[in-house]
Structure 1
Amino acid sequence: MIVDLRTYTMVPGRLKAFLELYEKEGLPIQLKHLGNLLGYFVTETGTQNQVVHLWGYESAADRERRRTAMENDPDWIAYRRKSAEAGNVQHQTNKLLRSTSFSPL
Protein backbone atom coordinates (compact mmCIF):
# COMPACT_ATOMS: atom_id res chain seq x y z
CA MET A 1 0.00 0.00 0.00
CA ILE A 2 1.02 3.58 -0.76
CA VAL A 3 -0.30 6.36 1.48
CA ASP A 4 -0.39 9.95 0.27
CA LEU A 5 -0.05 12.16 3.35
CA ARG A 6 -0.93 15.78 2.69
CA THR A 7 -0.63 18.70 5.08
CA TYR A 8 -2.16 22.08 4.33
CA THR A 9 -1.40 25.09 6.50
CA MET A 10 -4.20 27.62 6.38
CA VAL A 11 -4.06 31.37 6.56
CA PRO A 12 -4.98 32.13 10.20
CA GLY A 13 -8.72 32.54 10.51
CA ARG A 14 -9.46 30.64 7.26
CA LEU A 15 -9.58 27.02 8.50
CA LYS A 16 -13.35 26.90 8.91
CA ALA A 17 -13.97 28.40 5.46
CA PHE A 18 -11.58 25.88 3.87
CA LEU A 19 -13.25 22.91 5.58
CA GLU A 20 -16.74 24.07 4.64
CA LEU A 21 -15.88 24.53 0.97
CA TYR A 22 -13.92 21.28 0.82
CA GLU A 23 -16.61 19.18 2.50
CA LYS A 24 -19.32 20.57 0.23
CA GLU A 25 -17.49 20.66 -3.11
CA GLY A 26 -14.03 19.08 -3.04
CA LEU A 27 -14.55 15.92 -0.99
CA PRO A 28 -17.28 14.40 -3.20
CA ILE A 29 -15.04 14.76 -6.26
CA GLN A 30 -12.04 13.27 -4.50
CA LEU A 31 -14.07 10.34 -3.17
CA LYS A 32 -15.31 9.70 -6.71
CA HIS A 33 -11.78 9.52 -8.11
CA LEU A 34 -9.45 8.64 -5.24
CA GLY A 35 -11.78 6.41 -3.25
CA ASN A 36 -9.77 5.34 -0.23
CA LEU A 37 -9.81 8.19 2.30
CA LEU A 38 -7.95 6.90 5.36
CA GLY A 39 -8.47 9.99 7.47
CA TYR A 40 -8.97 13.74 7.50
CA PHE A 41 -7.76 15.68 10.54
CA VAL A 42 -7.11 19.14 11.96
CA THR A 43 -4.26 19.82 14.38
CA GLU A 44 -4.97 20.21 18.09
CA THR A 45 -1.37 20.72 19.23
CA GLY A 46 1.82 21.76 17.47
CA THR A 47 1.51 23.88 14.35
CA GLN A 48 -1.96 25.36 14.30
CA ASN A 49 -4.31 25.94 11.36
CA GLN A 50 -3.33 22.69 9.67
CA VAL A 51 -5.34 20.05 7.88
CA VAL A 52 -3.81 16.60 7.47
CA HIS A 53 -5.33 13.96 5.23
CA LEU A 54 -4.30 10.50 4.14
CA TRP A 55 -5.34 8.64 0.99
CA GLY A 56 -4.54 4.98 0.37
CA TYR A 57 -3.59 3.44 -2.97
CA GLU A 58 -2.70 -0.04 -4.12
CA SER A 59 0.50 1.24 -5.74
CA ALA A 60 2.18 4.33 -7.14
CA ALA A 61 0.67 3.49 -10.53
CA ASP A 62 -2.83 3.30 -8.99
CA ARG A 63 -2.28 6.71 -7.38
CA GLU A 64 -1.05 8.24 -10.62
CA ARG A 65 -4.00 6.86 -12.61
CA ARG A 66 -6.58 8.07 -10.07
CA ARG A 67 -5.05 11.50 -9.60
CA THR A 68 -4.72 12.03 -13.36
CA ALA A 69 -8.41 11.27 -13.82
CA MET A 70 -9.30 13.69 -11.02
CA GLU A 71 -7.05 16.47 -12.38
CA ASN A 72 -8.87 16.19 -15.73
CA ASP A 73 -12.35 16.34 -14.19
CA PRO A 74 -13.96 19.74 -15.00
CA ASP A 75 -15.66 19.77 -11.58
CA TRP A 76 -12.28 19.37 -9.84
CA ILE A 77 -10.76 22.11 -12.01
CA ALA A 78 -13.62 24.43 -11.03
CA TYR A 79 -13.27 23.53 -7.34
CA ARG A 80 -9.50 24.15 -7.39
CA ARG A 81 -10.05 27.55 -8.99
CA LYS A 82 -12.69 28.47 -6.42
CA SER A 83 -10.52 27.24 -3.56
CA ALA A 84 -7.51 29.22 -4.79
CA GLU A 85 -9.59 32.38 -5.16
CA ALA A 86 -10.76 31.98 -1.55
CA GLY A 87 -7.15 32.31 -0.43
CA ASN A 88 -7.42 29.82 2.43
CA VAL A 89 -4.24 27.78 1.95
CA GLN A 90 -0.90 29.30 2.90
CA HIS A 91 1.37 26.26 2.44
CA GLN A 92 1.07 22.66 1.26
CA THR A 93 3.29 19.58 1.59
CA ASN A 94 2.77 15.97 0.69
CA LYS A 95 4.64 12.74 1.28
CA LEU A 96 4.20 9.32 -0.27
CA LEU A 97 4.54 6.61 2.36
CA ARG A 98 5.10 2.93 1.69
CA SER A 99 3.78 0.47 4.27
CA THR A 100 6.07 -1.97 6.00
CA SER A 101 5.49 -5.73 6.02
CA PHE A 102 4.09 -5.52 9.59
CA SER A 103 1.88 -2.46 9.15
CA PRO A 104 -1.84 -3.02 9.85
CA LEU A 105 -2.67 -1.01 6.71
Structure 2
Amino acid sequence: MIYELRVYEVHPGKMKALLDRFENHTIALFAKHGMRITQFWEDLDEKNNRLYYVVEHDSLDIRNLNYERFRNDPEWLALKQVTEENGPLVQAQVSYFMKDAFLTP
Protein backbone atom coordinates (compact mmCIF):
# COMPACT_ATOMS: atom_id res chain seq x y z
CA MET A 1 0.00 0.00 0.00
CA ILE A 2 1.21 3.50 -0.78
CA TYR A 3 -0.20 6.80 0.39
CA GLU A 4 -0.39 9.98 -1.62
CA LEU A 5 -0.63 13.26 0.22
CA ARG A 6 -2.11 15.78 -2.19
CA VAL A 7 -1.79 19.47 -1.35
CA TYR A 8 -3.87 22.00 -3.26
CA GLU A 9 -3.21 25.72 -3.35
CA VAL A 10 -6.76 26.96 -3.80
CA HIS A 11 -7.61 30.17 -5.62
CA PRO A 12 -8.87 32.87 -3.23
CA GLY A 13 -12.60 32.57 -2.60
CA LYS A 14 -12.85 29.08 -4.16
CA MET A 15 -12.40 26.79 -1.11
CA LYS A 16 -16.12 26.26 -0.52
CA ALA A 17 -16.71 25.44 -4.18
CA LEU A 18 -13.83 22.95 -4.11
CA LEU A 19 -15.03 21.31 -0.90
CA ASP A 20 -18.57 21.08 -2.31
CA ARG A 21 -17.25 19.46 -5.48
CA PHE A 22 -15.32 16.88 -3.45
CA GLU A 23 -18.19 16.15 -1.07
CA ASN A 24 -20.90 15.92 -3.70
CA HIS A 25 -19.02 14.37 -6.63
CA THR A 26 -15.26 13.86 -6.63
CA ILE A 27 -14.97 11.45 -3.70
CA ALA A 28 -17.50 9.14 -5.37
CA LEU A 29 -15.67 9.44 -8.69
CA PHE A 30 -12.40 8.56 -6.99
CA ALA A 31 -14.05 5.48 -5.48
CA LYS A 32 -15.40 4.54 -8.92
CA HIS A 33 -11.79 4.47 -10.10
CA GLY A 34 -10.40 2.50 -7.15
CA MET A 35 -8.99 5.40 -5.12
CA ARG A 36 -9.73 5.68 -1.41
CA ILE A 37 -9.48 9.03 0.39
CA THR A 38 -8.60 8.30 4.01
CA GLN A 39 -7.98 11.79 5.43
CA PHE A 40 -9.12 15.26 4.43
CA TRP A 41 -7.99 18.59 5.93
CA GLU A 42 -8.31 22.29 5.39
CA ASP A 43 -5.36 24.45 6.53
CA LEU A 44 -5.95 25.87 10.00
CA ASP A 45 -4.59 29.24 8.83
CA GLU A 46 -7.19 30.33 6.27
CA LYS A 47 -4.66 32.74 4.71
CA ASN A 48 -2.80 29.71 3.36
CA ASN A 49 -5.91 28.61 1.43
CA ARG A 50 -4.69 24.99 1.23
CA LEU A 51 -6.53 21.71 1.08
CA TYR A 52 -4.79 18.45 2.03
CA TYR A 53 -5.93 14.88 1.58
CA VAL A 54 -4.50 11.37 1.60
CA VAL A 55 -5.35 8.79 -1.03
CA GLU A 56 -4.53 5.09 -0.59
CA HIS A 57 -3.27 3.14 -3.60
CA ASP A 58 -2.27 -0.50 -3.95
CA SER A 59 0.87 0.53 -5.88
CA LEU A 60 2.30 3.45 -7.82
CA ASP A 61 1.47 1.76 -11.14
CA ILE A 62 -2.15 1.23 -10.10
CA ARG A 63 -2.30 4.84 -8.85
CA ASN A 64 -1.17 6.09 -12.25
CA LEU A 65 -3.68 3.91 -14.08
CA ASN A 66 -6.55 4.94 -11.79
CA TYR A 67 -5.77 8.66 -12.14
CA GLU A 68 -5.55 8.31 -15.92
CA ARG A 69 -9.01 6.72 -15.95
CA PHE A 70 -10.34 9.40 -13.60
CA ARG A 71 -8.93 12.31 -15.63
CA ASN A 72 -10.52 10.93 -18.80
CA ASP A 73 -13.87 10.02 -17.26
CA PRO A 74 -16.61 11.93 -19.14
CA GLU A 75 -18.45 12.50 -15.86
CA TRP A 76 -15.35 14.18 -14.35
CA LEU A 77 -14.70 16.25 -17.47
CA ALA A 78 -18.28 17.55 -17.48
CA LEU A 79 -18.21 18.24 -13.74
CA LYS A 80 -14.92 20.11 -13.98
CA GLN A 81 -16.22 22.23 -16.82
CA VAL A 82 -19.40 23.17 -14.94
CA THR A 83 -17.70 23.84 -11.60
CA GLU A 84 -14.98 25.95 -13.21
CA GLU A 85 -17.18 28.16 -15.37
CA ASN A 86 -15.94 31.17 -13.35
CA GLY A 87 -12.31 30.04 -13.41
CA PRO A 88 -10.21 27.23 -11.98
CA LEU A 89 -10.61 26.28 -8.32
CA VAL A 90 -7.03 25.08 -7.82
CA GLN A 91 -3.98 27.12 -8.76
CA ALA A 92 -1.34 24.49 -7.93
CA GLN A 93 -1.14 20.89 -6.70
CA VAL A 94 1.74 18.88 -5.24
CA SER A 95 1.80 15.18 -4.40
CA TYR A 96 3.98 13.42 -1.84
CA PHE A 97 4.19 9.63 -1.96
CA MET A 98 4.68 7.69 1.26
CA LYS A 99 4.85 4.15 2.54
CA ASP A 100 4.26 2.79 6.02
CA ALA A 101 7.58 3.00 7.87
CA PHE A 102 6.80 0.03 10.14
CA LEU A 103 5.72 -2.57 7.60
CA THR A 104 8.27 -5.22 6.75
CA PRO A 105 9.16 -5.52 3.05
Say whether residues 1:69 and 2:69 are aligned partners. yes
Once the two structures are overlaid, the 10-residue window that deviates more, 79-88 or 50-59, is 79-88
Distance, in Å, in 2 between the alignment partners of 1:37 and 1:90 is 21
Runs of 5+ unmatched residues, structure 2: none
8 Å Cα contact 1:43-1:49 kept in structure 2: yes
1:4–1:56 Cα contact (<8 Å) kept: yes
User: What is the distance in 2 between the residues matched to 1:67 and 1:88?
Assistant: 19
Taking the TM superposition and a 5 Å limit, the aligned residue runs for 1:11-30 are 11-30=11-30
Q: Deviations over 1:31-72 (max 9, x none)?
A: 211332111110114862111011011111221222222223
- Pick which of 42-51 and 72-81 moved more: 42-51
The residue type equivalent to 1:97 in the other structure is: M
Count of residues in Structure 1 that have an aligned counterpart in Structure 2: 102
Unaligned runs of 5+ in 1: none
Which residue of the partner structure matches residue 92 of structure 2? 91
Aligned residues of 2:2 and 2:59 also touching (Cα < 8 A): yes
Overall identity of the aligned pairs, in %: 25
Report the CA distance between 1:74 and its aligned residue.
Answer: 0.8
Higher mean displacement: 42-51 or 71-80: 42-51
8 Å CA contact 1:7, 1:94 repeated in 2: yes
What's 2:42 paired with? 42
Task: Return closer, same or farther for 1:21/1:36 CA change in 2, 3 Å cut-off.
Answer: closer
Counterpart in 2 of 1:81? 81
RMSD of equivalent CA atoms: 2.1
Separation in 1, partners of 2:43, 2:35: 23
The runs of at least 4 consecutive aligned structure 1 residues that moved more than 6 Å come to none
